[in-house]
Amino acid sequence: MLPEGTGAGTGSLVSVPFHGRTVKGWILGPAADVPAGRVLAVRSVRSPVRFFDPQMLALLRWMGERYIAPLASVIERSHPPRVAGEEQAIDRVVDGGLRRARPSPDHGAVRRQPSTTAWVRPLPGHEGIDCVHALEGALARGEQAIVLVPEAEPVPATARAVLEAFGQRACAFMGGDRRGRYRAWLDVQGGRFDVVVATRPGVFAPLDRLGMIWVSREVHPGHREDRSPYYHVREVAMARARLSGGRCVLASLSPSVETAAAIDGGVVSVSRPGRQEERAAAPLVETVAPEAEDRSPRLAALVRRAGSGALIVSRRGYGTARVCRSCGEPAACASCRGPIVVERGRPACRVCGADGVCANCGGRSFGVERGGTERIAEWASRLAPVPVRGGGGEVGSGSDAPPPPGPGWLVVGTAAAVKDVGPLWLDLVAILDPDRALVRPGLHAGEQALATWMEAAAWAGPRSAGGRVLVQTRRPAHPAIQALVRWEPVPFLRAEALRRAEGGFPPNHPVFRIAGGGELEDALRAAGPVTLLAVPTAPDRTLCLVAVRPEGLPSFRRAVLQLVDRGVVTRVEAEPQL
């Protein structure tokens, strides 16, 4: 029970008595029915801030249902960790503690439109321009907006373009220390900003006139939360747009399979330039078969005359240990039997990081299959007319991350080096070993590889600029390679969607990894999932991988919660990395 005069309400953090202890709790609103018997009073209000309003609470409840997660966990993920000292500086506390956004001085009531979600395919290097233009329209209607980027360092070009265009009306909610992040969140809630540029947690930015959410590079794995409730920004942004009557924009050169399937299903609309305009802006892509150590004569010729460029390799380091020179056995880590790689002259396990020691005899000398960023950088530095940077640290230095590509140097890096750096006209972009990416395990390997290749290829600029993209592959007819060559990703993504459906995991079907007792498989099968794969992990322990029809999720969730109460289910992980 909340005593009168406390100034608390929906979204307030309070202290409540519970089984003889004082615990924190959240006020979710007035109760429809007061329980009979003794109702204990709230002991204190912990903060003058209200951390969510009814509309945000609706989103958080949706997340708890979608990802089968406790509402308390979802609420904790919706704002930065509290720093009480920052609350003392609040200068906009009204109505007994509720921070209200200030009304816009330039606009009247916001005109809400039916919510929509669209995939926007910008021309190479133009996402920042397109995003700023869309935001100008939203702000002109009196709306606020969120721009979500997958990385904070370096600041993506799209984020920079927005922050520069809107100045003091925009907030950069990316990185920073705990105190700074909480202070920025309070300022957003207080109505200081109309545009929030943020990484993944920014999808919950407390804006009360939200009209648009722009998700940049929506395929990027950085948009997936790896802690409970394991949400994906794409899904949460679409749900928030539905609840607020706003617009969600999924921007990418190549969309996810989920987005492509939603387009075919009529759930997501498409906004892209005309095919002729796209072809004119597309880079020139050629394929060639690789030779030893991910090289080819064609690559060597292009490197020799490149004044700028980027070489993308799938492996870090100098090479992979294949055999122990002491005993002749295949090389494997003595600690975890993982693969041993050589990086900066040191053999080490790729999995656990331990020093490279043979699991069979304890030897430390290995036969190495050379190939990786360090080896390519060493080779390219002998040919290129410009400095070579990167390769697991710039050649001859100890830095870890390669610098962004630019005129006057050649960069060597893995897919992680492909960033949103804005428009570039490089002489050469070489994707040295795409065949490895295409055979990696995982449902999302193909779509993420294609998206990365397209982002890197865009650095070469349109074919009229003279840059060139070289793809070294023994499978030039592979649909993913052809999607890059033709600069058209959708047919490949449709084929991927069909492949997933045939494998039992159709796109946009909720997937869960559920651990529990020996009866778990039969209990879950009774809930009617589309797919259920079970693996015994102990005599009385089972791990199940489950795909569920979207319309069947509510009943499946109820069944899982009942199994939790019975002790049959011990852990639920939504949307595991497959």
114: domain CATH number is 3.40.50.300
* 418 close to 469: Cβ distance less than 8 angstroms: no
Final residue of a structural domain among 436, 468, 500: 500
Domain boundary among 214, 234, 252: 252
3-state class of 551 per DSSP? helix
**Is residue 188 in a domain?**
yes
Structure tokens at 7: 């100034």
Residues 163 and 299 in one domain: no
Q: In order along the chain (578 residues), what is the average pLDDT of each group of 10 residues?
A: 76 86 87 73 86 94 95 94 82 42 42 76 94 96 96 93 96 90 94 96 95 96 90 96 94 96 94 91 95 92 95 89 91 90 87 90 89 91 93 48 85 92 93 92 91 96 91 96 96 95 94 93 92 90 94 95 94 87
**Domain that includes residue 13, residue range:** 1-50
Q: What is the dihedral sign for C-alpha 370, 372, 375, 376?
A: positive
Of 443, 510, 444, the closest CA to residue 218 belongs to 444
Give the domain-ending residue among 479, 500, 521: 500
520 and 471 inside one domain = no
- Residue-level pLDDT at 114: 60
Q: What is the CATH number of the domain that holds 528?
A: 3.30.70.120
DSSP code of residue 536: E
Asked whether residue 392 falls in the same domain as residue 303, the answer is: yes
Which amino acid, residue 115? S
Q: What is the dihedral of CA 8, 12, 15, 17, to 10 degrees?
A: 80
Are 184 and 159 within 8 A, CB to CB? no
82 occurs within a structural domain = no
pLDDT at residue number 106: 44
Asked whether the beta carbons of 427 and 467 are under 8 A apart, the reply is: yes
Q: Which two tokens stand for residue 523?
A: 């209990």
In a domain, 271, yes or no: no
Rounded Cα–Cα distance for residues 487 and 458 (Å)? 10
| pLDDT given for residue 89 in this prediction | 66
Contact by Cβ (8 Å): 257, 500: yes
| Bond from prior residue into 154 cis (ω within 30 degrees of 0) | yes
Pair (312, 366) in one structural domain: yes
Strand-pair partners of 120: 251, 271
pLDDT at 5: 67
Question: What pLDDT does 452 receive?
Answer: 96
Long-range contacts of 172-179 (CB under 8 A, 24+ apart): 172/197, 172/198, 173/197, 173/198, 173/199, 173/201, 173/202, 173/205, 174/149, 174/198, 174/199, 174/202, 175/199, 178/80, 178/81, 178/83, 179/83, 179/85, 179/86
Are 300 and 441 in a shared domain? yes
286 and 333 fall within a common domain:
yes
Report the distance separating Cα 146 and Cα 210, nearest Å. 8
Query: What strands lie across the sheet with 44-50, from one edge to the other?
Result: 21-26, 12-18, 44-50
Q: What separation in angstroms does the CA of 363 have from each of 156, 338, 548?
A: 45, 15, 49
> Is 262 inside any structural domain?
no
Supply the pLDDT for residue 397: 39
Q: Are 474 and 278 in contact (CB under 8 A)?
A: no
Q: How far, in Å, CA of 376 to CA of 290, rounded?
A: 13
Residue 347's Cβ-count burial label (10 Å; 0-12, 13-18, 19+) is: buried
Strand pairing partners for 249?
118, 214
Regarding whether 219 and 289 lie in a shared domain, the answer is no
In a domain, 446, yes or no: yes
Q: What are phi and psi of 443, to 5 degrees?
A: -65, -30
> Are 451 and 333 found together in one domain?
yes
Distance from CA of residue 447 to its chain's centroid?
13
Reading across the β-sheet that carries 340-343, which strands appear in turn? 346-349, 340-343, 319-324, 366-370
Residue 155 lies in a domain: yes
* Sequence letter at residue 338: G
Q: Number of structural domains, the chain?
A: 4
Same-domain pairing of 521 and 490: no
Let me know: does 406 contact 398? Beta carbons within 8 Å. no
Q: Which helix (H) or strand (E) holds 206?
A: none
311 within some domain: yes
Q: E strands, 97-206, where?
A: 98-99, 116-120, 144-148, 170-173, 195-198
Confidence (pLDDT) at 70: 92
**pLDDT for position 460:** 95
Same-domain check for residues 376 and 287: yes
For residues 224, 312, 338 and 542, what is the CA-based torsion angle, rounded to 10 degrees?
A: 30
User: Looking at the structure, do residues 234 and 315 belong to the same domain, yes or no?
Assistant: no
Q: How many residues belong to the chain?
A: 578
CA separation for the pair 231, 224 (Å, rounded): 6
Helix (H, G, I), strand (E, B) or coil at 558: helix
Q: Flag whether 277 is in a domain.
A: no
Asked whether residue 489 falls in the same domain as residue 385, the answer is yes
